[in-house]
Amino acid sequence: MNSSKSRLAALLLCFFLGYLGIHRFYAGKVGTGLIWLVTAGLFGVGIVVDFILILLGSFTDREGRRLLSW
């Protein structure tokens, strides 16, 4: 089952506000969103990884459903 969250929204949030973890809060991942907020996106590495995962359609919401719909 796919997530109801928009993949495009997550991608744009990751690109522009990834260092704050806003894309993770959007997907419902509050715990890791806080980690991204405190560590500036895991010092930039986490932002790149998440951006690639979102592009490939492998990024999931908090229930493990993939964000596939643009």
| Amino acid of residue 18 | G
- List, for residues 1-58, the tens digit of each pLDDT value: 899 999 999 999 999 999 999 999 999 999 999 999 999 999 999 999 999 999 999 9
Q: How far is CA 29 from CA 4, 18, 67, 68, in A?
A: 14, 13, 13, 17
Q: Is 46 exposed, middle or buried (0-12, 13-18, 19+ CB in 10 A)?
A: buried
Amino acid at 26: Y
Which residues are paired to 60 by β-bridges?
A: 66
pTM across the whole model: 0.92
